[in-house]
Amino acid sequence: MPGADLYEIRAGFLPLLDSAILVVAREKGFAKAEAIDLTLIRENSWANIRDRMAVGHFQMAHMLGPMPIAACLGLTPLQLDVVAPMALGLGGNAVTVSRRLADELAQDGDPGGLDATMNIKRLARVVRRHNAEHELPLSFAVVHPFSAHNYDLRYWLAAGGIDPEQDVRIVVVPPPLMADALNSGQIDGFCVGEPWNSLAVKLGAGVIVTTKSAIWRSSPEKVLAVSATFAADQPSAVAAVLRALYRSAEWCGNPENHEELAVLLARKEYVGQDQAVILPALQGKLRYQDDEVATVQDFFVPFDKAATFPWQSHALWFYSQMVRWGHAVWDPDSVERAAQAYRPDLYRAAIAPLGAAVPAANAKVEGALKTPMHAGSSDGSLILGPDGFFDDRVFDPEQIETYVREQQV
């Protein structure tokens, strides 16, 4: 927009692979093309992101998917009034365990690679043995209580017969400290976004045992959180940011750009790790232990499969898990507020001028697609899936009360 006044936007982010869309929007000029002067401020914990959004330091932020829902339900320590008009990709996380625990798992059955089903069965046997022998419970770290990491890990553990509340300890560690916490023996495992799993493997501290995409393929992760006041007062600026990020996501999703993207993210002001640690996850080729590498389908999806669309069914699945684990109460009003934390209406209005394929629905049944399928969209060319849970369960947002009740049994 030559000659237009620039909107000055300050956005917080954490050093993670899925900050890529924000980084590229700034560094490749997509933000400036939409008359956005985008300043990115690196933080090291999600609590800092949350609190700095609450006190007005940022208009927008890279944020954990469940956090806007927690805010809408009044579950944050400071009042946080945000909406999520865009997702920042699908997947990108993994579960890593210490070498000591990996050795125990190896003694308890054939190596499972990254198979979610095989490795949770092996882990369950190890956990039962530890508890029967009255040893200290195994300790697993997540990045924040209201995080996809916490709910993905709990879902995986519970499906394998491990009670996350009784059989193990779940603690909070900021992402950049995960590899060091594992290396120092403070924890036995963690669920975190890349590149911190790969760094733990590189340091010889850990072994990746499964991925988010193996637990729930094409599953939600981070969102763009926007101050609700700013969204109401400056709708044109918000729409411009969404268009810039959409174009950025498309660039990030092109395999031809992955090497350049790894170089950008490696810079100290962004992720600050060697590009050789970052690139494999972008390519879906994870070194999960020693020199063993696995090709992981849909490990991190920044653009395809409507990866930037803020599905309200994703928000409702997060809410279902918040209720399941006692982090929120069940009531119909909370269901509505959880859904409205995600704003597909703002996304559609912003992206419409681009003529891009945008989902026609606000929600969908999660876990039902076994193969890629065409979905109803603005131009009929959108392909979604596969999106299955590893235990073959399905989440229908229209049946959320039944789903919650069944999981509480």
- State the first-to-last Cα distance of the chain, in angstroms, to the nearest integer: 56
Contact predicate 55/316, CB 8 Å: no
Segment 206-223 mean pLDDT: 98
CB 258 within 8 A of CB 279: yes
Nearest C-alpha neighbor of 137 from the set 127, 145, 125: 127
Confidence band for 252, pLDDT divided at 50, 70 and 90: very high
What's residue 2's pLDDT?
Answer: 44
Is the per-residue pLDDT at 199 higher than 80? yes
What is the C-alpha to C-alpha distance for residues 41 and 370, in angstroms, rounded to an integer?
Answer: 39
Buried b (16+ CB within 10 A) or exposed e, 202-224: beebbbbbbbbbbbbbbbbbbbb
- Mean pLDDT of all residues belonging to the chain: 96
For residue 130, the model assigns a pLDDT of 93
**Residue 345 neighbours by CB under 8 Å, 6+ apart:** none
Task: Evaluate if residue 144 carries a pLDDT over 50.
Answer: yes
What per-residue confidence (pLDDT) applies to 375?
86
Query: According to the model, what pLDDT value does residue 380 have?
Result: 67
pLDDT for 259-277, tens place per residue? 999 999 999 999 999 999 9
> What pLDDT score does 108 carry?
75
What 3-state DSSP class applies to 408?
coil
Cβ contacts of residue 87 below 8 Å, gap of 6+?
A: 65, 220, 221, 222, 223, 224, 307, 308, 309, 310, 311, 314
pLDDT-derived band at 378, boundaries 50, 70, 90:
low
Helical H runs in 36-97? 46-54, 67-72
DSSP string, 189-231: EEEEETTHHHHHHHTTSEEEEEEHHHHBTT-B-EEEEEEHHHH
Q: Per-residue confidence at 40, pLDDT binned at 50, 70, 90?
A: very high
Q: What is d(CA 394, CA 124) in angstroms, rounded to the nearest whole number?
A: 23
Burial letters for 259-277: b for 16+ Cβ neighbours within 10 Å, e otherwise? eebbebbbeeebbebebeb
- What pLDDT does residue 309 have? 98
Region 11-20: what's the mean pLDDT?
A: 98
- Model confidence at 219, pLDDT cuts 50, 70, 90, reads very high
Dist. CA 17–CA 118, nearest whole Å = 27
User: Which residue in this structure is represented by tokens 């697609």?
Assistant: 369
Domains and CATH numbers, the chain: 7-89+220-272+301-354 (3.40.190.10), 93-215 (3.40.190.10)
For residue range 277-329, what is the model confidence (pLDDT) as tens digits? 999 999 999 999 998 999 999 999 999 999 999 999 999 999 999 999 999 99
What is the pTM (predicted TM-score) of this model? 0.97
Q: Would you say how long the chain is, in residues?
A: 409
Instruction: Tell me: pLDDT of 1 over 60.
Output: no
The C-alpha R_g of the chain, in whole angstroms, comes to: 20
pLDDT over 50 (residue 37): yes
Q: Are strands 285-289 and 168-172 parallel, antiparallel or unpaired?
A: unpaired
pLDDT score at 388: 95
112-131 pLDDT, tens digit per residue, is 799 999 999 999 999 999 99
